[in-house]
Amino acid sequence: METLKTNMVILGGGAAGLCAALGAVQVSSSIRLILVSKGLIGKSGSSRMVQGGFNAALKGDDSWKLHLEDTLISGEFINRQDLVSTLAKEAPRCIEQLENWGCFFDRKEGNIHSKTFGGQTKSRTVHRKDFTGIEVTSKLFDQLLAFEEQVLFLQECRALQLLQNESGAVAGVIVFDIRKGTLYLIQAKVVVLATGGAATLFSVKAPPMEKSGDGMALAYRAGAQFVDMEMVQFHPTGLVVPGTLLNGSVVEEGLRGIGGKLLNSQGERFMERVSPNHKECANRDVLTRAIYREVKEGRGTENGGVWLDLRELKEDVIKDEFPNMWKRISLLGKDPKSDLLEVFPTAHYMMGGIRINPYGQTSISGLFSVGEDAGGVHGANRLGGNGIADSVVFGLRVGQNAAIAAINESELQRNFQLSLEKQCNQLKKKLQSPFLNEKGVNPFYLRKKLEETMSQLAGICRNEQGMISALHFIEKLKEWHPRTYINGNLSYNLALQEWLNVENLLIVASLIIHSALLRRESRGAHWREDYPEKNDRDWLSNIVIFKERDQEEDHQLKTKIEPVSFTMMSPETVNSRKSILPPETKLRS
Amino acid sequence: MKAYNNDLIAGGGINLVDVKIRRFHPGKDQHPYYSWFRVESAANQTVLDILTVILQEHELSLSFRFSCRTGLCGSCGMIINDEEKLACQTLANTLGQEITLEPLKNYPLIKDLTVDLTTSYSKYKKIAPAFAKNHDGSISGISRYLKHFPCLHCGLCYSKCKVVAIQPSFLGPISLHQMYVLEDLGKNPFSNYRKQMATHEGGIFDCMSFGCCGAVCPQSINPMESIHHLQHKWKK
């Protein structure tokens, strides 16, 4: 075991983590930080996979206020408004900053071009064809390489446990080196969680498999508060390719923006019926429910999807503006000019997460959170293009704030709750434990069962009875977990990684369901068939959920239901101004 | 003779493929060896799908790297039937009845099919890869830049490069392509430094123009062409 001491640790090598690191080194040349990434920095996680783009109000007829309004309407007004206004105000400046770092976005007549995305009154999604994520993450990493003296990269390492001092403040982290199979004990003044969400909990999903709510699980164990965990976004158009890992990968929203149509098995363009004004450009939650209903009511395809029809689009436009989509479609042997694509909603993003303030501080001293780890920005439904904007805007901001906090903290904490040696020994013993089982459950099987349970009982459509059954099954899986069998050794062992992933996913699954049981209404991504109506009278509120520090059992979860604070805009003010958005985006069941 | 590591030997259906995987864990194994698996291969399944089945159902200790599974991250590069490819972008049914999987070359091996891709970053860092703030980034430079597909840093070209194989100081296709992209963007403060770096030993004039790099690039980038542009710009 190696011991390291530093000012700050950032967990996560996606856009949020990279931006947090760049934000921190800008604060002072004296800042030293360690960037810990479970995969290769900039190459793992979801930021790399961003196809669509980055929302920023850049055009003359657009403004941060319209961006704010669209985000709040889409989020069904349970977003935390101070976070949304920060996002909308700072996004244009971040685009400028990104271009200064060599991330160039597509242009038309010299100006930055933007796409039309669902639920937005203006076309404000800035992009680089359909590989915006590669452009952003690779250029952020290039920039960071210049700060070699300040930043230590620990790639293919995962955090196992936060270190807390006697008063509960976070003072470091224990990290497992996936390649070597050894531990690092890192003492730090602050820790930033930027590991992403856990939408991989479902059978059909878009994010990379290694995203397993690690930051959320660490924060949960440390006693942090979570907000609106029931809000899990399903992207309406995930590819249906049974039996392959391409199943659930996203078909870019921009293709619907330029005229891609959704058809049921009877050939009907059902979005004309469901959302006559927006059709395929309606919000993601509207499309997801509509597709789910078509399939449920027997108008789906053989594989349980609907058709995406791109036949009327110009071949050159798809090839030129969506080259990765073209490649993916071609890989499947399809020709968009003659073949229909089979699609179904795919688990995509978690709007809920660790509760933060606009400085990225969590409820635990010394612990910051940013990106998909954190909740509150997107409310009940995230707009396409707001995800990477969130990671960059808050990444830079939270990185700076965490660095300032680290500078202000004069010394490393040394009075830990438990002796460091004891904590490390406990972890070593735990890591060895599945190798000692002579036979047992395979961790991949465990994950499959968890995914099936979540999809069937707590996915797109939920009810109380189903979710209670899901909780019971999750308890069973928690009992099975210690009996898992793994062979080989600790270094680069994918089964061991999956075992650790499942442990974290079980925590996040449980938080999602507990929160979803409390919200007795349907709002945005949270659709309850036993409470199908949106209920503004009782539920314009955030659900806060957490366990007390040192409390072991999660059936003693603490919950709080807090009314939303309408500091910028309320549903009434928007309605009274006769917002440009037609009624069905606001008044839906 | 094939000794299968799983029990799916019977069957003989047309969808069965034999997968031969090079195994080696430096420091643990004495010698590299091959494991054989017979697996079912369905339509649309990629090599990555097949590897995942082998891992989850037959060989829990097998190592390989992947992330996005859609050709965007460049993590799953390996040698598939003697050719550098991304496992997630290679359909199994295009490869015949026997598939041989080996780790990328020119990188230190971590375990089985996983190599340490980060080693080429030490060379990459040498060329000052970051876009500098006082770089002019002219519109014409940017419009040329936007026509390039971005490099995934998947390492396929670096593995295929015959010069890297015999001359470890060669900066290699990834770094030199990035150098060309940055220089093509317009005037910048690192030009002189990069010129010096590029015209020294291990730089652009050590490229032997085999063209292997461009042939394996999943993004259709041709690093050799980028190197030729730099050779023309900074003639000896």
pLDDT at position A234, please? Answer: 97
Q: Global pTM?
A: 0.96
* Nearest to A322, CA basis, from A397, A259, A274, A241: A259
Q: How far is B166 from chain A (nearest CA, A)?
A: 27
Confidence of residue B108 (pLDDT cuts 50, 70, 90): very high
pLDDT at A576 over 70: no
What pLDDT is recorded for position A579?
47
Locus of tokens 């001491």: A5
What is the rounded CA–CA span in Å between residue A119 and residue A268?
Answer: 23
Find the helix packing angle between B223-233 and B172-184, rounded to 10°. Answer: 60
Q: Closest chain B residue to A101 measured between Cα atoms?
A: B131
pLDDT at A555: 59
What are the catalytic residues of A?
235, 256
B75 and A328 in contact by Cβ < 8 A? Answer: no
Element (H, E) at A386: helix A386-408
Report chain B residues whose CB lies below 8 A from the CB of A488.
Answer: 60-61
User: What CA–CA distance (Å, rounded) separates B78 from B51?
Assistant: 12
Test A492 with B139 for CB contact under 8 angstroms: no
**Following CA atoms A37, A43, A44, A50 in sequence, which dihedral angle do they give, to the nearest 10 degrees?**
130
Over residues A507-517, mean pLDDT = 97
What is the pLDDT of chain B when averaged over all its residues?
Answer: 93
Interface pTM, i.e. ipTM: 0.95
Average pLDDT over residues A548-576: 83
Joined together, the tokens standing for residue A449 give 């069962």
Instruction: Give the count of beta carbons closer than 10 Å to the beta carbon of residue B196.
Output: 11
A405, A31 contact by CB (below 8 A) = no
- Comparing alpha-carbon positions, the chain B residue that sits nearest to A485 is B60
B179 is written with which tokens?
């150098």
Task: Return the residue in B25, B47, B57, B73 with the most chain A beta carbons within 10 A, the one to mutate for interface testing.
Answer: B73
Give the pLDDT score at A215. Answer: 98
Measured distance CA(A359)–CA(A363) in Å, rounded: 12
Confidence at residue B14, expressed as pLDDT on a 0 to 100 scale: 55
Chain B environment of A25 (Cβ under 8 Å): none
pLDDT at B230: 97
Q: What digits encode the pLDDT tens for the residues A175-209?
A: 999 999 999 999 999 999 999 999 999 999 999 99
A223-249: per-residue pLDDT in tens?
999 999 999 999 999 999 999 999 999
The residues, ordered by sequence, that sit 6+ positions from A259 with a Cβ below 8 Å of its Cβ are A312, A313
Q: CB distance A139–B68 less than 8 Å?
A: no
- The model's pLDDT over A74-94, given as tens digits with 9 standing for 90+, comes to 999 999 999 999 999 999 999
Q: Nearest-CA distance from A488 to chain B in Å?
A: 5
pLDDT at A580 (0 to 100): 46
pLDDT higher than threshold 90 for residue B119: no
Question: Inter-chain contact B67–A139, Cβ cutoff 8 Å?
Answer: no
Per-residue model confidence (pLDDT) at position A574: 77
Residue A577 is predicted with a pLDDT of 58
The mean per-residue pLDDT over the stretch A482-511 comes to 96
Q: Which of A244, A346, A448, A491 to mutate to test the interface with B (most CBs of B within 10 A)?
A: A244
Rounded alpha-carbon distances, angstroms, from residue A401 to A27, A276, A339, A397, A507: 9, 45, 51, 6, 28
Mean pLDDT of chain A: 93
User: For the segment A147-183, what is each residue's pLDDT rounded down to a tens digit?
Assistant: 989 999 999 999 999 999 999 999 999 999 999 999 9
Q: For residue A270, what are the CA distances in angstroms to A261, A295, A306?
A: 9, 11, 10
pLDDT confidence band for A582 (50 / 70 / 90) = very low
Cβ atoms of A127 and A4 within 8 Å: the answer is no
Q: Check CB contact under 8 Å for A48 and B114.
A: no
Buried b (16+ CB within 10 A) or exposed e, B90-119: bbbeebeeebebbbbbbbebbbbbbbbbbe
**Partner residue opposite A39 with nearest CB, options B52, B67, B116:** B67
Which candidate from A128, A146, A491 shows the least CB-CB separation from B111?
Answer: A491
B64: which chain A residues are within 8 Å (Cβ-Cβ)? 494
Q: A232-239 and A461-462: which strand pairing?
A: unpaired
Q: How far apart are CA A216 and CA A223, in angstroms?
A: 10
Percent share of chain A, pLDDT over 70? 97
Answer yes or no: do B44 and A243 touch at CB < 8 A. yes
Residue of B nearest to A133 (CA): B72
Contacts of A155 in chain B (CB under 8 A): 118
Residues in chain A within 8 Å Cβ distance of B112: 492
Residues of B in contact with A490 (CB under 8 A): none
Whether the CB-CB separation of B58 and B108 falls below 8 Å is answered with no
The pLDDT value given to residue A583: 42
Pairing between strand A341-350 and A232-239?
A: antiparallel
pLDDT for residue A552 is more than 70: no
pLDDT bin (cut points 50, 70, 90) of residue A493 is very high
Return the structure tokens found at A323.
């080259």
Q: Is the pLDDT of residue A374 over 60?
A: yes
Cβ–Cβ < 8 Å for A521, A541: no
pLDDT at A149: 93
φ and ψ of B159, to 5 deg: -70, -35
Mark yes or no for CB contact B44/A241 under 8 Å.
yes
At B12 the pLDDT is 52
Give the residue on B whose Cα is nearest the Cα of A323. Answer: B149
- Cβ B69–A209 below 8 Å, yes or no? yes
Q: Give which of A369, A368, A366 is closest to A413, Cα–Cα.
A: A366
Residues of A in contact with B146 (CB under 8 A): 104, 106-107, 128
Q: Is the pLDDT of residue B6 over 90?
A: no
- The arithmetic mean of pLDDT across residues A550-576, rounded, is 83
More confident site: B213 or A581: B213
A496-500, A560-564, B18-22, B39-43: which range is least confident on average? Answer: B39-43
Interval A413-447: pLDDT, tens:
888 888 999 999 999 999 999 999 988 889 999 99
From the list B44, B45, B146, the residue facing A104 with the nearest CB is B146
Give the tens place of pLDDT for each residue, A35-54: 999 999 999 889 999 998 99
Query: B121 vs A323: CB contact, 8 Å cut-off?
Result: no
Q: Is the dihedral of CA A455, A456, A459, A465 positive or negative?
A: negative
> What mean pLDDT do residues B52-78 have?
96
CA B41/CA B93 separation, integer angstroms: 7
**Nearest CA to CA, how far is B62 from chain A (Å)?**
7
> Per residue in B166-189, pLDDT tens?
999 999 999 999 999 999 998 899
CB–CB contact B72 A45 (8 Å): no
pLDDT at position A186? 97
A584, pLDDT greater than 50: no
The DSSP code for B107 is S
Identify the pLDDT of residue A254: 87
**Spatial CA neighbour of A254 closest among A129, A386, A339, A151:** A129
